């Protein structure tokens, strides 16, 4: 039997050769696609690393917001996801095995992108051009996304533009913070509003400290941000890793005299919304302990009216009165005497009489603080140690007050003061509620509440 052999024309053979060639060319493409698909499914695929650019012409166009230059540079064919690597000299402390250390001029490199540069500097049109050219909106070579950068630098229009192009409101930077967590300036309020409008979670927590945006806003004394977050359902009494609620965070943050009012507004908003004034941190310090340590009289008054415990001790055995007495010398412009007065009127423990010379030494720059403390006793044993505790320059500056104080070495307290002390002892812990209801003349009511007279009698 003869075997049948197919016969091909020259045309059919040529067609077959072309098909085989096309298949050979397609194999790498198909294989590459399948490999990338498999990698994406496994979560191991990443796009190619962007090109690093050190060109000063490119950097100058971006850092100055030169729109025409940016359009010319980032035109068709130029990579959109280029990484900028600016360099600059910086003195750093270098340690080695032979000497303790020395200052050396080194070059620190910071990775950024055109999106970061334009977003952080408010160059909205340059940013728009880059986004239209297809730049990756969530690229973060230096740890922050461009959205982090815009919010941190208080550039609301750039933040809004990035969000419109799909920026991730939940992206975390290298410190575990989302864009809402880096809104730490008063001027960043509009950025925060845009983030929430685009779906940012108002109770999201950082990875390192478990801070919420409310913690951050309270810590930085931002009443408008606090109000915004509360209106969008922020959790009031959520504690971070240090045990701080937002109220604890506001009370514990160092405050200069110019920021006292802002922090008072923050605390007022939080307490009006129902913040718990009794929650203590890991060291058992309550908001009242912290407000006394930072010497904010308005916040102390609010906390006391909300029922804060005036004699609660922290782990170190300190009551709120101890905290304010420790900082009087450094917080004179905060009116620390008002805090001491308020604490005593709410039933605070007094200083052990044997420790009064030490208190005089550290609080002598605030005679009114000493006046409030002294008027909490019916009798005192004043010795030479009291006089020696006052620095001569302070003694001279407040001579009239200290002369009235040291005159008590030879004379008893006045009958008027003894009557006051007796009534205060009877009403201890209730003065702030009872005295306003007695219908007393203003002078007598103020006298009972330790009003300042700038001398003792």
Q: pLDDT tens digits, residue range 111-134?
A: 889 999 999 999 999 999 999 998
**Integer Cα distance of 231 and 1 in angstroms:** 94
- The helix (run of H) or strand (run of E) holding residue 342 is helix 336-345
Residue 407: how many CB atoms within 10 A of its CB? 13
278 vs 319: CA distance, rounded Å: 14
How crowded is residue 274: how many other Cβ atoms within 10 Å of its Cβ?
9
Domains of the chain, start order? 48-91+105-201 (1.25.40.20), 202-349 (1.25.40.20), 364-457 (no CATH)
Is pTM beyond 0.85? Reply is: no
DSSP state of 112: B
Task: For residue range 174-215, list pLDDT tens digits in order.
Answer: 999 999 999 999 999 999 999 999 999 999 999 989 999 999
CA 392 and chain centroid, separation? 41
pLDDT averaged over every residue in the chain = 86
Q: How far apart are CA 171 and CA 148, in angstroms?
A: 9
d(CA 281, CA 453): 38
For the chain, state the CA radius of gyration.
35
The model's pLDDT over 222-242, given as tens digits with 9 standing for 90+, comes to 999 999 999 999 999 999 999
The encoded tokens of residue 100 equal 């303790």
Q: Which tens digits make up the pLDDT trace of 399-429?
A: 999 999 999 988 889 999 999 999 999 999 8
Instruction: Please write the tens of the pLDDT for every residue from 41-85.
Output: 554 445 456 678 878 888 889 999 999 999 988 886 666 678 887
Judge whether 289 and 323 are in contact, CB under 8 Å.
yes
Q: What number is the average pLDDT over the span 367-396?
A: 93
Of 227, 231, 341, 245, nearest to 287 by C-alpha is 245
322 Rama sector, left if φ>0, alpha if ψ -120 to 50, beta otherwise: alpha
Cβ-contact 397, 389 below 8 angstroms:
no
């Amino acid at each position: 039997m003869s075997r049948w052999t197919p016969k091909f024309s020259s045309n059919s053979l040529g067609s077959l050769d072309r098909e085989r060639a096309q298949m050979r060319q397609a194999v790498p493409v198909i294989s590459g696609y399948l490999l990338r698909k498999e990698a994406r499914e496994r979560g191991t695929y990443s796009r190619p690393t962007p090109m690093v650019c050190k060109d000063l012409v490119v950097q100058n166009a971006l850092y100055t917001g030169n729109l025409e230059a940016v359009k010319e540079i980032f035109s068709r064919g130029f990579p959109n996801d280029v990484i900028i690597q600016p360099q600059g000299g910086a003195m750093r402390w270098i340690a080695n095995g032979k000497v303790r250390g020395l200052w050396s001029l080194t070059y620190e490199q910071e990775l950024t992108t055109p999106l970061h540069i334009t977003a952080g500097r408010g160059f909205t049109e340059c940013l728009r051009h880059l986004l239209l050219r297809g730049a990756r909106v969530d690229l973060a070579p230096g740890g922050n996304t461009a959205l982090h950068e815009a919010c941190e630098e208080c550039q609301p229009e750039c933040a809004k533009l990035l969000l419109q192009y799909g920026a991730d409101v939940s992206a975390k930077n290298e410190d575990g913070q989302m864009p809402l967590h880096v809104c730490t300036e008063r001027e960043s309020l509009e950025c925060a509003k845009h983030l929430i409008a685009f779906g940012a979670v108002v109770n999201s927590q950082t990875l390192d400290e478990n801070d919420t945006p409310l913690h951050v806003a309270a810590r930085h004394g931002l009443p408008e941000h606090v109000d915004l977050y509360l209106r969008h359902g922020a959790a009031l009494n959520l504690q971070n890793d240090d045990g701080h609620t937002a109220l604890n965070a506001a009370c514990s943050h160092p405050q200069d005299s110019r920021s006292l009012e802002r922090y008072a507004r923050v605390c007022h908003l939080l307490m009006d919304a129902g913040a718990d004034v009794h929650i203590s941190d890991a060291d058992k310090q309550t908001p009242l302990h912290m407000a006394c340590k930072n010497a904010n009289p308005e916040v102390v008054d609010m906390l006391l009216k909300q029922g804060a415990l005036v004699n609660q001790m922290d782990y170190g055995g300190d009551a709120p009165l101890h905290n304010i007495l420790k900082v009087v010398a450094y917080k004179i412009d905060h009116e620390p005497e008002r805090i001491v007065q308020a604490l005593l009127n709410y039933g605070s423990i007094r200083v052990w009489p044997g420790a009064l010379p030490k208190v005089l030494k550290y609080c002598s720059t605030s005679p009114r603080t000493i006046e409030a403390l002294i008027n909490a006793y019916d009798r005192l044993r004043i010795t030479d140690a009291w006089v020696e505790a006052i620095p001569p320059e302070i003694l001279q500056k407040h001579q009239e007050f200290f002369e009235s104080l040291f005159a008590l070495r030879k004379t008893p307290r006045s009958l008027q003061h003894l009557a006051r002390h007796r009534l205060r002892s009877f009403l201890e812990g209730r003065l702030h509620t009872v005295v306003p209801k007695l219908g007393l003349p203003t002078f007598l009511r103020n006298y009972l509440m330790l009003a300042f007279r700038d001398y003792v009698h």
